[in-house]
């Protein structure tokens, strides 16, 4: 019988190809995810946010020679990078460009109805942040785009230049928890009356002038929450989560694990509430395994600052129960 050649704590998360350069995405909490997944040789796993394939390559290392990963990502550049990284695995990785809200449909397209584990690594990737032309980062000048799927029809610039002041303020407060949302929205409306906002630095400069002086020098960059809110709105990130988590639970085999990595409180709250709903009641279909979310070690936070806000929640599919 085949046994995995490596343990989860021996896996190179960069896969068998050369190590990524400084602009590549480094997945977070990899060892923790691999441990919680309860992987097995020959298992089938769904990576709903495959990115550049770092986590997928680790799963494939551990589940060979017959284990497989179905990777979904709506970013065509991510799919191309993942295809390149996973090429050495000779057909054990199947990649699909699409949104994980259609994960059941994507599985059917490759002839599957159930899997042994599902992983979500939410939020924006390092590769997206490091590309100024994508418009995700407030640290480099680029177009106010922020679409993860460039087939999407509405950019951040269009939101900023078209929404009413109240609607924009509500968006910044709801999705970014921005305490100065009304000041920023008012400044946007005044600025766009002169000329449309077009670049990330247009927006950063506007935010800087709109917020109090002390807010410009806090621990968190003063543009962080506004950029987060716009990205979430452009990509409809929160509205698809609960439905997708429920669908993911429903495609798990009994004993299969669902792992969700989130990076801010809004995502984590939805994961927590969905797990709770599916773990309680007269006919629960999940058992929540993490009473409190797992967080990165101090060493990981030092080595990868973007991991500092990550939280991992895990649940297991119960037998003989259908997830509603």
Dihedral angle of Cα 139, 142, 148, 152, to the nearest 10 degrees: 150
CA angle 247, 253, 256 (to 5 degrees): 90
How far apart are alpha carbons 97 and 220 in whole angstroms? 33
Using alpha carbons, list the distances in angstroms from residue 278 to 273, 310, 322.
9, 23, 10
Res 307: pLDDT: 86
Q: What are phi and psi of 287, to 5 degrees?
A: -120, 120
Starting at the edge strand found earlier in the chain, the sheet holding 68-73 runs 93-97, 68-73, 44-47, 115-121, 252-262, 311-317, 286-288
Would you give the distance in Å from CA 318 to the centre of its chain? Answer: 25
Q: Choose among 13, 35, 7: nearest CA to 300.
A: 13
How far apart are alpha carbons 319 and 60 in whole angstroms? 26
CA angle 48, 270, 146 (to 5 degrees): 60
For residue 323, the 8-state DSSP code is -
Res 58: pLDDT: 96
Contacts of 146 (CB under 8 A, 6+ apart): 134, 135, 136, 155, 156, 227, 230, 231, 234, 235
Q: End-to-end alpha-carbon separation of the chain, Å? A: 37
Residues of the chain under the 50 pLDDT cut: 1-23
Res 153: pLDDT: 81
CA angle 32, 314, 241 (to 5 degrees): 120
Dump strand ranges (E) for 51-171. 68-73, 93-97, 115-121
How far apart are alpha carbons 323 and 58 in whole angstroms? 28
Q: What is the pTM of this model?
A: 0.88
Res 25: pLDDT: 61
**Cβ–Cβ contacts within 10 Å for residue 302, how many?**
11
Which residue segments constitute the domains of the chain, with CATH numbers given? 8-123+238-317 (3.40.50.150), 134-235 (1.10.150.170)
Q: Which residues pair with 46 in a beta bridge?
A: 70, 118
Dihedral angle of Cα 302, 207, 267, 96, to the nearest 10 degrees: -90
CB 33 within 8 A of CB 39: no
Identify whether 196 is preceded by a cis peptide bond (ω within 30 of 0): no
CB-facing half-sphere around the CA of 277: CA atoms within 13 A? 13
Dump strand ranges (E) for 77-123. 93-97, 115-121
How far apart are alpha carbons 66 and 69 in whole angstroms? 10
Q: Which residues pair with 97 in a beta bridge?
A: 73
């Amino acid at each position: 019988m085949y046994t995995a050649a490596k343990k989860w704590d021996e896996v190179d998360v960069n896969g068998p190809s050369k190590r990524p350069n400084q602009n590549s995405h480094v997945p977070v909490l990899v060892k923790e995810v691999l441990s919680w997944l309860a992987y097995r040789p020959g298992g089938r796993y769904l990576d709903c946010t495959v990115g550049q394939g770092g986590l997928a390559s680790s799963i494939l290392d551990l589940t060979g020679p017959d284990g497989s990963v179905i990777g979904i990502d709506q970013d065509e550049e991510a799919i191309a990078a993942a295809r390149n990284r996973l090429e050495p695995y000779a057909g054990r990785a199947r990649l699909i460009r699409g949104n994980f809200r259609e994960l059941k449909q994507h599985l059917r397209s490759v002839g599957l109805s159930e899997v042994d584990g599902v992983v979500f690594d939410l939020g924006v990737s390092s590769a997206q942040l490091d590309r100024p032309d994508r418009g995700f980062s407030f640290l480099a000048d680029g177009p106010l785009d922020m679409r993860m799927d460039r087939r999407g029809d509405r950019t951040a610039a269009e939101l900023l230049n078209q929404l009413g002041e109240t609607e924009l303020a509500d968006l910044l407060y709801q999705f970014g928890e921005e305490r100065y949302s009304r000041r920023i929205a008012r400044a946007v409306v005044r600025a766009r009356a002169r000329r449309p906002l077009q670049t990330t630095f247009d927006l950063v400069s506007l935010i800087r002038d709109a917020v109090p002086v002390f807010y410009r020098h806090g621990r968190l960059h003063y543009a962080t929450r506004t950029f987060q809110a716009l990205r979430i709105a452009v990509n409809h990130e929160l509205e698809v989560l609960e439905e997708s988590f429920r669908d993911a639970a429903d495609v798990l085999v009994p004993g299969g694990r669902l792992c969700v990595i989130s990076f801010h409180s809004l995502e984590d709250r939805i994961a927590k509430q969905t797990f709770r709903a599916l773990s309680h009641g007269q006919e629960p279909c999940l058992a929540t395994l993490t009473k409190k979310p797992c967080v990165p070690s101090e060493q990981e936070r030092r080595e990868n600052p973007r991991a500092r806000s990550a939280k991992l929640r895990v649940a297991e599919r119960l037998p003989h129960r259908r997830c509603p």
